[in-house]
Amino acid sequence: MTARVTEEEVERVAELAHLQLTPDESVRMQKDLNAILDHVAELNELDTTGVVPLASANELADAPASELRADVVVKSLDRAVVMAQAPESSGAFFKVPKVIER
């Protein structure tokens, strides 16, 4: 868990996150990530064998839990209004650069 993050790993993670870092940014991020992960390593001191992970406080709160609404179609936002926010649109579809070379 105290693994040092290498330059290659920073680049791999950036690619996973669809970020394209400049060489300067990469160096800086590597340094910051290592400093933060060194601190995070403190968690290793704790034995958490058998502890059930807690994903959300909703699992704990002793108040009436929210019920899922009925699965019925309800009116949503008007399509034209939503599409108007797109950087590029055909009116019905979002337009993006080509995905597949022909």
Partner 1 sequence: MAGESKTGSFVEKPQTLAALKGEIAAGRTKAVDLAAAYYQRIAKKNPRLNVYLSLTKDRALAQATHIDELAAKGDPLPPLAGIPVGIKDVLVMQGAPATAGSKILEGYLPPYDATAVAKLEAAGALLLGKINCDEFAMGSSNENSAYGPVRNPVDTERVPGGSSGGSAAAVAANMAVGTLGSDTGGSIRQPASFCGVVGVLPTYGRVSRYGLIAFASSLDRVGPFAANVRDAATILSVIAGHDPKDATSSQAPVPDYAAESDKPVEGLRIGVPAEYFAEGLDAEVRAQIEKGIDALKKAGCTIKPVSLPHTKYAIPTYYLVATAEASANLARFDGVRYGYRSPQSETLSDMYSHSRDEAFGAEVKRRILLGTYALSAGYYDAYYLKAQQVRRLLAEEFLRAFTQVDAIVTPTSPVPAFKLGEKADDPLAMYLADIYTVTASLAGICGVAVPCGATSTGLPVGMQVLAGHFQEGAAFRVARAVESAQI
Residues binding partner 1 (CB under 8 A):
1, 3, 5, 9-10, 13-14, 16-21, 25, 28-29, 32-33, 35-37, 39-43, 46, 48, 51-58, 60-69, 77-78, 81-82, 84-88, 94, 96-99
Looking at beta carbons only, is 43 or 73 nearer to partner 1?
43
Looking at beta carbons only, is 16 or 92 nearer to partner 1?
16
Are the CB atoms for 10 and 26 separated by under 8 Å? Answer: yes
Task: Report residue 29 as tokens.
Answer: 């991020």
In one-letter notation, the amino acid at residue 53 is: P
Which of 48, 30, 42, 53 has its CA nearest to residue 2?
A: 42
